Amino acid sequence: MMAPAVSPRSKEVASLRPLPWRRMAWVTWRQHRAALIGLVVALAAIAAYTWTVGLQLHHAYAAQLACRPAGSDACLQLTSGFNSVGGFLTNGWILQLVPALIGAFVGAPVLARELETGTYRYAWTQGFGRWRWTLAKLAGLAVAVTAAAGAISVLFSWYYQPYFSAGNEARNLSELASLAPSLFDLRGVALAAWTLAAFSIGVLAGMLIRKVVPAIVATLFVYSGLAIATGSWLRAHYLAPLVTRSLNVPNAVWIVSQNWMTKAGQTVSQSVLYQVLQGAPAQVAGKDGGGPNLHALAAWQYLVEHGYTQVTSYQPASRFWAFQWIEAGWLFGLSVLLIVVTVWLVRRRAA
């Protein structure tokens, strides 16, 4: 019998079989355990501090709520005590660093370190395959950081709960509205979505730049730009804002815009309004010192009587979960797209 000759190279290729995915999970853990352990320690420290301050905050709120009569000196002192708790965390800006730092110090080095040190030349020639190697690493780490962020967002939601409770007038709730840029993405599903997006930005930056430190800087820069653009402009337009011409804007809403207009619908500047108020009584016009106050009821009534209308566009707090799912949806889509692009670049790169 005659059989075609088989070259040694063909035998070697035929003998290679793709390694199981579970083996890559162990490799990913071995390679990135320092970063993952550091992430757990950092989040545990943040959680411990938030929990400690949160207990004080909740106790102060309960004491303030139970105090009677509400206007007494003792109750006012309790309200003051509630306002003084947690000043470091209340505005939310310091906690905005959580997803940014995860993206920079966990996401950016994943591929950048391999490419910078040259170890990818060995890793990509193993039996697992370069694209499976990349996808396994990115998927495993993405799930880990997203789950960690989702867990800590539950704690953040609990921490801020007294500020959004019904009847809480201890603080100006317009500054602590549930849709406010500094607080919205720390609660619900948004924090996990932003963390996944930051991680995806980091891995793509590492693949493109191929050096760890520049990739970290680029990740922080791109993520910050995306977060600022979303909080200052994009989020306000997820749904059409409600419009009111009343002075009494509902509490705990996110005011998108507030302008004075003529009957013809033209926007009026504050300088024009000040000129109109010069003809008002002395107290309204502020002639006794300090100038006119456009937010005062008397000034508002005087301007309305003279044909001007204050138009306020706002997003109500009832849209919180609708905005959460909208934001989480497009961030998830963006993250998947960035990871797919990263895997495609790895497949195209020569080993």
Report pLDDT digits (tens) over 19-39: 666 666 666 777 778 888 888
Rounded alpha-carbon distances, angstroms, from residue 335 to 88, 139, 202, 203, 255: 31, 11, 10, 10, 30
**127 CB-near residues (< 8 Å, 6+ apart):** 16, 17, 18, 19
- Give the pLDDT band of residue 176 (cuts 50, 70, 90): low
pLDDT digits (tens, 9 = 90+) for 36-52: 888 889 999 999 999 99
Q: From residue 3, give the alpha-carbon distance in Å to each of 6, 15, 18, 80, 295.
A: 9, 19, 28, 92, 95
Q: How confident is the model at residue 342 (pLDDT cuts 50, 70, 90)?
A: very high
Please report the pLDDT score of residue 285 as a whole number: 60
Question: Which pLDDT score, from 0 to 100, does residue 14 have?
Answer: 43
Tell me the domain boundaries of the chain: 56-85, 92-239+320-351, 242-317
pLDDT in tens, 44-94: 999 999 999 999 888 888 888 888 887 788 888 887 777 777 677 877 888
pLDDT of residue 194: 97
Average pLDDT, the chain: 82
Q: CA-CA distance, 341 to 327, in Å (whole number)? A: 21
What is the pLDDT, as a whole number, of residue 98?
92
Number of Cβ within 10 Å of residue 282's Cβ equals: 8
Looking at the predicted structure, is the pLDDT value of residue 221 above 80? yes
Q: Which two tokens stand for residue 183?
A: 């607080």
Residues in contact with 2: Cβ distance below 8 Å, sequence separation at least 6, in sequence order: none
* DSSP SS3 for 267: strand
* Reported confidence tier of residue 108, pLDDT bands at 50, 70, 90: very high
Please compute the mean of the pLDDT values over residues 265-285 and round it to a whole number: 76
Residue 350 clears pLDDT 60, i.e. is over it: no
- Of the two residues 271 and 231, the one the predictor is more confident about is 231
| CB neighbours of residue 210 within 10 Å | 17
pLDDT at 174: 46
Place 273 in a pLDDT band, splitting at 50, 70 and 90: confident
- In this prediction, what percent of the chain has a pLDDT beyond 90? 37
Average pLDDT over residues 108-128: 78
Structure tokens at 4: 């075609």
Q: What is the pLDDT of residue 20?
A: 64
Higher per-residue pLDDT: 117 or 155: 155
Question: Picking from 107-116, 161-170, 316-325, which range would have the lowest pLDDT averaged per residue?
Answer: 161-170
User: What is the per-residue pLDDT for 124?
Assistant: 65
Segment among 46-50, 233-237, 269-273, 328-332 with least mean pLDDT: 269-273
Q: What is the pLDDT of residue 143?
A: 92
Q: What are the pLDDT digits (tens) for 140-174? A: 899 999 999 999 999 999 998 888 775 554 444 44
* Band of pLDDT at residue 283, cut at 50, 70 and 90: low
**Closest listed residue to residue 58, CA positions, set 170, 217, 182, 213:** 170
Between residues 295 and 90, the one the model is more confident about: 90
Grade residue 12 by pLDDT with cuts at 50, 70 and 90: very low
Residue 229 is predicted with a pLDDT of 95
